[in-house]
Amino acid sequence: RPPGARPTGEAEPLRGPRRAMAQSMGRSRDEVMPCTIFDDADVHAWTQGQDITARLVRAIAAGCRAEPGLNAFFDAEAASRRLMDRIDLAMAVDTPDGLIVPVLRDIENKNAREIREDLNAIKEATRQRKVAPEDMRDFTITLSNFGMLAGRYATPVIVVPTVAILGTGGVRHDVVPVMGGIEVHKRIPLSLTFDHRCVTGGEACRFLAAAIENLGQPS
């Protein structure tokens, strides 16, 4: 800074969700070997009225079915991983108090209506600042739908001991080549970060391919 310039403002201790976020992100930086792959899901075939967030949740379930190794915990000290029997999806939610991660339980065995009901319950609990601590624990994989605000691609941060997080950008209209010409299609940008200590590039790519295939279905 220029000579003689002094910082302004007061130091603000981090509390609650913001403090937890700082600790979690610091641990990830120290422990995880992250790698991120990017792609786009063409959703041109969607029927009208599709629930984007619910579709993303179902797509993650499809990815986990294709590659269960991304729905797992990794223990570096024991050099072991645990494949989880159930998919419990953390939803990264931005709040004035910091980042919180309420969890959708057992997403593989829920239909679109049940997923939407759970999402609405999370939204209301977050609005009222009444998300219970037990509803932010023991998740197995994470979705960060940052595109609701801005952005196309990112390098989302994995929460230890999980091994994967899918970031989704805003829906965009892109020009795509088709047989005999070009068309404008809706596409969703996807960014999948995985822990390369226990997930291979091939496993991550197959997970993402399965999620993209699921998102490409009309309904």
pLDDT digits (tens, 9 = 90+) for 60-102: 999 999 999 999 999 999 999 999 999 999 998 888 888 888 9
Lowest mean pLDDT segment, chosen from 14-18, 45-49, 71-75, 196-200: 14-18
Lowest mean pLDDT segment, chosen from 11-25, 29-43, 149-163: 11-25
**23 lies in some domain:** no
**122 lies in some domain:** yes
Q: Would you state the pLDDT for residue 12?
A: 84
Cα–Cα distance, 167 to 155 (Å, whole number)? 8
**7 lies in some domain:** no
**2 lies in some domain:** no
Q: Give 147-190 as a 3 state SS string.
A: HHCCCCCCCCCCCCCECEEEEECCCEEEEEEECCEEEEEEEEEE
**What is the residue-averaged pLDDT of the chain?**
92
The percentage of residues in the chain with a pLDDT greater than 90, rounded to a whole number, is 69
pTM for the predicted model, two decimal places = 0.90
Cα–Cα distance, 79 to 196 (Å, whole number)? 13
Range of the domain at 124: 35-162+174-215
Q: Would you state the pLDDT for residue 14?
A: 86
First to last CA, the chain: 56
Closest C-alpha among 182, 175, 188 to residue 216 = 188
Lowest mean pLDDT segment, chosen from 13-22, 39-48, 98-107, 165-174: 13-22
Total count of domains within the chain? 1
**6 lies in some domain:** no
- 196 is a catalytic site residue: yes
What are the backbone angles phi and psi of residue 40, rounded to the nearest 5°?
A: -130, 140
**5 lies in some domain:** no
State the Rg of the chain over Cα. 19
What's the CATH code of the domain at 155?
3.30.559.10
User: What is the pLDDT confidence band of residue 1, given thresholds at 50, 70 and 90?
Assistant: low
DSSP 118-156: HHHHHHHHHHTT---GGGGSS-SEEEE-GGGTS-S---P
User: What is the pLDDT confidence band of residue 130, given thresholds at 50, 70 and 90?
Assistant: confident
Average pLDDT for 121-143: 90
Q: Letter for the amino acid at 43?
A: V
> Which two tokens mark 41?
């899901």
**83 lies in some domain:** yes
Q: Would you state the pLDDT for residue 2?
A: 65
Question: How deeply is 109 buried, as exposed, middle or buried, from its count of CB atoms within 10 A (0-12, 13-18, 19+)?
Answer: exposed
Given the residues 44, 173, 185, 196, select the one marked as catalytic.
196
**11 lies in some domain:** no
Closest C-alpha among 186, 93, 125 to residue 117 = 125
Q: Would you state the pLDDT for residue 132?
A: 86
Q: Would you state the pLDDT for residue 10?
A: 85
Distances (CA, A) of 43 to 6, 162, 208: 52, 28, 15
Average pLDDT for 106-125: 93
**Position 4 pLDDT exceeds 80:** no
